[in-house]
Amino acid sequence: MAVGKDVKAKGTNKNIIASLINVFKEYKAEIKRITWPTKDEFKKAVIAVAVLCTIYVVYVGVLDSAFKSLFDLIFSK
């Protein structure tokens, strides 16, 4: 009975390895199907993200400064 379990365990290890190999083959096939951006598209996207992040940082900084001034005005005696 124990021998049968050992054989079954060895078979499942081969199945696991085979299924992992199959998964990685599928990943490779999916990656080949991706439409990657061109250098120009990538550059435009990076610039857009950088500009939006800068605008957001300035906006939050202005709000922080305004609220700090407001709290200082309210709580100063």
**pLDDT of 67 over the 70 cut:** yes
Q: What pTM was computed for the model?
A: 0.57
pLDDT confidence of residue 1: 52
pLDDT digits (tens, 9 = 90+) for 18-66: 999 999 999 999 999 999 999 999 999 999 999 999 999 999 999 999 9
Backbone angles phi, psi at 11, to 5 degrees: -65, -40
CB 37 within 8 A of CB 45: yes
Tokens (6 digits) for 63? 């709000």
DSSP H helical ranges for the chain:
2-33, 39-75
Query: Residue 69: what pLDDT?
Result: 95
Q: Residue 34 has what DSSP assignment?
A: -
